[in-house]
Amino acid sequence: MVQPLGYLKESASQTAGPYVHIGLTPNFSGIDGVYESDLGAIMVTDKTLGRRITITGRVLDGTGTPLKDALLEIWQADAAGLYNSPSELRGSADPNFSGWGRSATDGVTGEYRFETIKPGRVPFKDGRLMAPHISVWIVARGINLGLNTRLYFGDEEAANAEDPVLARIEHRVRVPTLVAMADGDTYRFDIHLQGDKETVFFDI
Amino acid sequence: MTDLSNRKPETGAFFSRDRLWHPPGLTPGYKTSVLRSPQKALLSLDGTVSEITGPVFGHSILGELDNDLIHNFAKSGESAIGERIIVHGRVLDERARPVAGALLEFWQANAGGRYRHKKESYLAPLDPNFGGCGRTITDADGYYAFRTIKPGPYPWPNGVNDWRPAHIHFSVFGHGFAQRLITQMYFEGDPMIWKCPIVQTIPDKAAIEQLVAALDWGNTIPMDARAYKFDIVLRGRRSTLFENRMEGN
């Protein structure tokens, strides 16, 4: 006999289902008047520090068909590389930037869209700097447990080349699946759930 | 009891996720998963600052009726039709510590099993007084509660004759982005739970039973609403005492 650890088990995930937008973006889904606005819809105000960027793209299934019922959330550091979180011990983040956003994919085109700022670099566990990146979480009908990935920036070649997380991807041909293509201040980031271009998803 | 450790900043990485406890990505009995499940191995990443941090939602975002689905979409003086219930419980982590300040968002069908959504095609009627969404934030003890009507079961296009058991969808934020979770709550005694292909994506019976809310007679309000108790467990966090962190992190 040994002492019991007394741990609980994490509640098992269940799919967000086809109507996730009722719960998480009700105004977007046409349910007006319950909440003033949808959480995470606006990330940036006039006071937010940093370079304004747009991130857009689609989530594609194994046939290349875009998901029209998906929901994405992003989590990122501010322009100085600080997270607006009590667990951030390195300093105080920009009070005018929460770092969190939420976007439904469009019911016709399947496009999602975030208006945000370019994040600064944050350190890996050993102190080396990671390349600027944004954490991405994807849920939808047919996805049993939310998918985690990262968005890196196509115009950060030098930083990406020394990023300790990207460096751990054994199959180098897959690294570009995490890199958003830059077109001025707009970054395009398509997420492929399956196939030759399947995005690298993380067990975090 | 005051938990002093809760007052320290939480900087430990999360317990690794037990992916044999959660449903796998590919579950052919739930057809939509077939083309939407990644086929390559996930890249394992012990939490960096990007994963152990997460947004904070203050109680100031909440409106007075956000946790009352019976009234938050209803015309003044009216209320949603259905069995009046209270759903309440605690959000805990795997170390059985309460998770304070957790944002919970929930959505559900109306009493007839119909969602208020333009892509919904079930012939059951909409309830003009029921929207189907609500939210709340846990208190210092991890406790939450909301009022709603019991959702109805409904058919869905998967097998020829598949029905969902009555359920409420939950979205949960803990303290770190890696704790993000969506799940569903089922109701004690519902025989349809065990016929549902989405429930059956979960391989372990004990994991399913953990999603079934108990009828809570003690907290039932006479002549008003029955109570169901539903606790939610998020990933635990390692003690930071022996975490090997370099200067600057």
Active site residue B115: yes
A154 phi/psi in degrees, rounded to 5: -65, -20
Q: Could B181 and A199 be called an inter-chain contact, meaning their C-beta atoms sit closer than 8 Å?
A: no
Nearest CA in chain A to B7: A86
Does residue B4 surpass a pLDDT of 80? Answer: no
**Of B97, B116, B169, B226, which is the active-site residue?**
B169
A168 phi/psi in degrees, rounded to 5: -85, 0
Element (H, E) at A139: strand A133-139
Does residue B245 surpass a pLDDT of 70? Answer: no
B163 touches chain A (CB under 8 A): no
Q: Is there a domain that residue B241 lies in? A: no
**3-state secondary structure string across A95-126:** CCCCCEEEEECCCCCCEEEEEEECCCCCECCC
Q: Could B42 and A203 be called an inter-chain contact, meaning their C-beta atoms sit closer than 8 Å?
A: yes
Nearest to B10 among A15, A87, A169 (CB): A87
- Quote ipTM for the complex: 0.96
Q: Is there a domain that residue B13 lies in? A: no
Query: Mind listing the pLDDT tens digit for each residue in B210-220?
Result: 999 999 999 99
Architecture of domain A20-192: Sandwich (2.60)
Active site residue B164: yes
DSSP letter, residue B23: P
Element (H, E) at B209: helix B205-209
Pairing label, strands B143-149, A100-104: unpaired
Using alpha carbons, select from B45, B31, B86 the residue that is nearest to residue B230. Answer: B86
- Segment B172-194 shows an average pLDDT of 98
Within 8 A of A143 by CB-CB distance, chain B residues are: 25, 33, 36-37
Q: Could A139 and B207 be called an inter-chain contact, meaning their C-beta atoms sit closer than 8 Å?
A: no
Distance from CA of A182 to the nearest CA of B (A): 22
Taking a contact as any Cβ pair under 8 Å apart, which residues of chain B between 92 and 121 contact chain A?
Answer: 92-96, 105-107, 115-120
Active site residue B88: no
Nearest to A23 among B107, B246, B248 (CB): B107
Distance from CA of B224 to the nearest CA of A (A): 23
Q: Rounded CA gap, B226 and B86, in Å?
A: 6
Residue-level pLDDT, tens digit, chain A, 204 residues: 899 999 999 999 999 999 999 999 999 999 999 999 999 999 999 999 999 999 999 999 999 999 999 999 999 999 999 999 999 999 999 999 999 999 999 999 999 999 999 999 999 999 999 999 999 999 999 999 999 999 999 999 999 999 999 999 999 999 999 999 999 999 999 999 999 999 999 999
**Of B22, B84, B115, B143, which is the active-site residue?**
B115
Q: Could A83 and B50 be called an inter-chain contact, meaning their C-beta atoms sit closer than 8 Å?
A: yes
CB pairs under 8 A between A and B: 287
Nearest CA in chain B to A59: B36
Query: Mind listing the pLDDT tens digit for each residue in B111-165?
Result: 999 999 988 889 999 999 999 999 999 999 999 999 999 999 999 999 999 999 9
**DSSP characters over A18-58:** TTHHHHH-TTTTT--SSSSS-TTS----TT--S-EEEEEEE
- Distance spanning both ends of chain B, measured CA to CA: 32
Q: Rounded CA gap, A9 and A31, in Å?
A: 35
Using alpha carbons, select from A141, A138, A67, A149 the residue that is nearest to residue A105. Answer: A67
Domain limits of chain A? Answer: 20-192
- Segment B50-72 shows an average pLDDT of 96
Active site residue B167: yes
What mean pLDDT, rounded, does chain A reach? 97
Query: Mind listing the pLDDT tens digit for each residue in B80-113?
Result: 999 999 999 999 999 999 999 999 999 999 999 9
B126 touches chain A (CB under 8 A): no
Q: Rounded CA gap, B62 and B65, in Å?
A: 8
Within 8 A of B38 by CB-CB distance, chain A residues are: 147, 193-194, 198-199, 201
> How many domains, chain B?
1
Nearest to B175 among A16, A75, A87 (CB): A87
What is the residue range of B93's domain?
48-231
CATH at B192: 2.60.130.10
Contact criterion met (CB below 8 Å) for B76 and B42: no
Active site residue B147: no
Nearest to A122 among B11, B25, B50 (CB): B50
